[in-house]
Amino acid sequence: MLNTSVVFVNSSKVKREFDPNNYTTKEEVLNALGDIRREPGSANTHLAIDELTLSGFSEVNGARKLTDGHPRVGILLTDSQSSCPNRTTLAAARARDSGIVLIVVGVGKEVDVNELKVIASNPTCQNLFLLNNVTELDSLKFLIRRRITEGMLVCFFVFFLS
């Protein structure tokens, strides 16, 4: 069983695209990721982080137990500022308090770097990445792959904001 969840956020809606219980192979996960379509809307980042904290990493949905040594790492990929910065700050604090490490990837010039610093787990030098455009996402593959092979990123959760 793979330990991956994906949440997609568009406008005021939050939709968990899949949970760890749904797929057993890397190929199935990659195919499911390929089926996700981005829709324009506002970035309700706080809703995505709350979904991550309350449901995405729940054992009912297939997450492995923290007590068994399985880390929970959320990867936030965004190309804009959140629509409710105060709520986003609180949601990020709740996620970190529940044991989730938040890695943040900001893409483009529309992101608020200070906001992303508040969302990312410490140390931000390891958990915050700023990219000029989506074509630079390939540059992060090596880092993420290395963390997975070192066992640091056993359980991760990805959500996209538009």
pTM for the model: 0.78
More confident residue, 90 or 38: 90
Q: What is the CATH number of the domain that holds 91?
A: 3.40.50.410
Taking 60 as the threshold, does the pLDDT of residue 149 lie above it?
no
Q: How many domains does the chain have?
A: 1
Going by pLDDT thresholds of 50, 70 and 90, the confidence category of residue 11 is low
Domain containing 37 equals: 4-161
Q: Tell me, what's the pLDDT at 60? A: 77
Look at 12-26, 67-81, 121-135, 140-154 and tell me which has the smallest mean pLDDT.
140-154
Of 18-27, 57-66, 71-80, which one has max mean pLDDT? 71-80
Look over the chain and give the mean of its residue pLDDT values, rounded to a whole number: 76
Going by pLDDT thresholds of 50, 70 and 90, the confidence category of residue 152 is very low
The helices-and-strands tally (H runs, E runs) of the chain is 6, 6
How far, in Å, CA of 89 to CA of 86, rounded? 5
Q: Tell me, what's the pLDDT at 31? A: 75
- For tokens 């324009």, name the residue: 40
User: Which helix (DSSP H) or strand (DSSP E) does residue 73 occupy?
Assistant: strand 72-78
**By the 8 A CB rule, do 33 and 18 touch?**
no
List 101's β-bridge partners, or say none: 73
Going by pLDDT thresholds of 50, 70 and 90, the confidence category of residue 12 is low
Taking 50 as the threshold, does the pLDDT of residue 98 lie above it?
yes
Taking 60 as the threshold, does the pLDDT of residue 55 lie above it?
yes
CA 123 and chain centroid, separation: 17
Taking 50 as the threshold, does the pLDDT of residue 17 lie above it?
yes
Contacts of 121 (CB under 8 A, 6+ apart): 96, 101, 102, 103, 127
